[in-house]
Chains A and B, each alone.
Chain A
Amino acid sequence: MAAWSDGRIIEKDQPTPTTVRLRLHVDDRPHHLPGQHYILRLRAPDGYTAQRSYSLASDSDDPLLELLVERQPDGEVSEFLADVAEVGDVLELRGPIGRWFVWDTKSRVLCLVGGTGVVPAVAMARTARRLGRTDLLRIAAMGRSRDELAYASELERYGATLAFTRADVDGRTAGPFTAAELTPLLEGVDLGYVCGSARFASYAEDLLVACGLDPGAIRVERFGPTGD
């Protein structure tokens, strides 16, 4: 497991009203697999530290590491990264981590992802494109509206199927994916990858199983509180 190293913020922008995207340089960074994450650690003058995990959006060949941070209400780390951190600042990073929620670039997979859960799917899409194996990876991504879904345009260019729960788009009525929309995407698929909030993940697992995918072929990455 990698030790802590320094990451310098090279680019920072705000893809949606509630997220910031950070691109960081790390010296002698190890290779990573699409779906892996890094831990980011902040250190206060009194020695207090706070650390959080963030999935990578970047492909391993990208010269920079790309993370998406969703602003949490009163989030000690996310609000710092959104409001205080600037290009040029150095943060501590440790990774890559995780060998389960990764795509081996050989299996035929469907990613069913929601909100900021799109991030690992973006990394998988970038890797698939680099390898010329976009035939192996299908993506179904869900957000409230186009403006609120990070990477919506990139995913659309990749060929992902998008669903918006709060906006009617191109004749599709607002709402989550239906079994009828998802079933064709599962044809020939070995594994389903679900990433999103706990609430999204429950919905997505149930939907994949309802569409005929074996529960044992579903890999899940959930984040955030349960709300209960």
Chain B
Amino acid sequence: MPVTRGFHRRRPEPERGRLPPGQYDTGASWPVLSAEATPQKPEESWTFSIDGLVESPHTWTWQELHAVPGSTYFGDIHCVTTWSKFDMTFSGVSVDDLLDVAKPDPAAAYVLAHSVTGYTTNLPLADVTGGKAWVVWSVDGKPLPRQHGGPLRLLVPHLYFWKSAKWLSRLELMTEDRPGFWEQNGYHDRGDPWREQRYQGDD
């Protein structure tokens, strides 16, 4: 590919191995991206469910979720629009602990995350188990702002951030993969930033 005449790196070179290909460090800012209107449903009436291919479909109230032993992620996030943000702290509960209650059927292989807005995103079950995914309500010690998906969002930081559904209401377990909102609109089914899986057709 040709070099762009007159273009040079202006940002300092990031720590080696930290920035996936095609990404830049957004620094202190945290861009907001969403495709739909921000829901105003109050947090005290929020519920979260796991259903579909599970032995015991379960719904947690806002208070019940907070009674689950907490879990925190500290690390980086990567948005498909090319910004990455380093050293974020998100707190909530591990998806593993919630799945332990719902007991996935052995045939379950994929998850569709649902938002109260109707937004959906699909993920392999293996990408939300084994300590790789959280359901979170706080960031950097403060309640997660509405514009960033508060009061409750999915967090799957090893994949592009559209997989971390904002305003999360439900995880549906499935045998077959079923494309979610952006995935139907041309984005990748898995979305691994290190393999630069941005769009359908990327490796």
Residues of A with Cβ closer than 8 Å to B?
Answer: 1, 4, 6, 41-46, 48-53, 74, 76, 80, 84-85, 89-92, 97-101, 194, 198, 201-202, 205, 208-209, 215-216, 218-228
Contacts and interface: CB of A to CB of B under 8 A. Distances in A.
Contact of B31 (A44, A98, A209, A225): A225
B37 A1 contact: no
A136 to B, nearest CB: 21
A22 to B, nearest CB: 13
B118 A50 contact: no
A101 B8 contact: no
A52 B23 CA distance: 10
Nearest to B184: A99
B11 interface: yes
A99 B9 contact: no
Contacts of A42: 4, 7
A194 B35 CA distance: 9
A228 B46 CA distance: 25
Contact of B8 (A45, A216, A224, A226): A45
B55 interface: no
B199 interface: yes
A194 B147 CA distance: 15
B29 A226 contact: yes
> By CB atoms of chain B within 10 A, which of A89, A98, A225 has the most?
A225
B42 interface: no
B10 A76 contact: yes
A219 B37 CA distance: 7
B190 to A, nearest CB: 14
Contacts of B4: 42-44, 80, 89-92
B34 A44 contact: no
Contact of A92 (B1, B10, B32, B200): B1
A46 B4 CA distance: 11
Given A1-B202, A44-B4, A99-B186, A76 B24 contact: yes
Given A90-B4, A222-B34, A225-B32, 6 more contacts: A1-B201, A4-B1, A92-B1, A194-B37, A208-B37, A223-B31
Contacts, number: 115
A4 B4 CA distance: 14
Nearest to A101: B35
Chain B at the A interface: mostly helix, strand, loop or mixed? loop
B201 to A, nearest CB: 4
A197 to B, nearest CB: 9
Nearest to B7: A42
Given A1-B200, A205-B37, A84 B186 contact: no
Given A44-B4, A85-B6, A76 B11 contact: yes
B185 A99 contact: yes
> Would you list the 4 A-B pairs with minimal beta carbon distance, nearest first?
A225-B29, A1-B199, A198-B32, A99-B185
Given A98-B185, A218-B36, A226-B147, A44 B3 contact: yes
Contacts of A221: 35
Contacts of A228: 145
Given A53-B81, A205-B37, A84 B11 contact: no
B21 to A, nearest CB: 8
B75 interface: no
A198 B202 CA distance: 29
Contact of B35 (A1, A220, A224): A220
A98 B35 CA distance: 11
A222 B33 contact: yes
A80 B33 contact: no
Contacts of B31: 198, 223-226
Interface string B47-90: 00000000000000000000000000000000001100000000
Given A4-B1, A220-B37, A222-B32, A84 B201 contact: no
Contacts of B181: 100
A116 B30 CA distance: 19
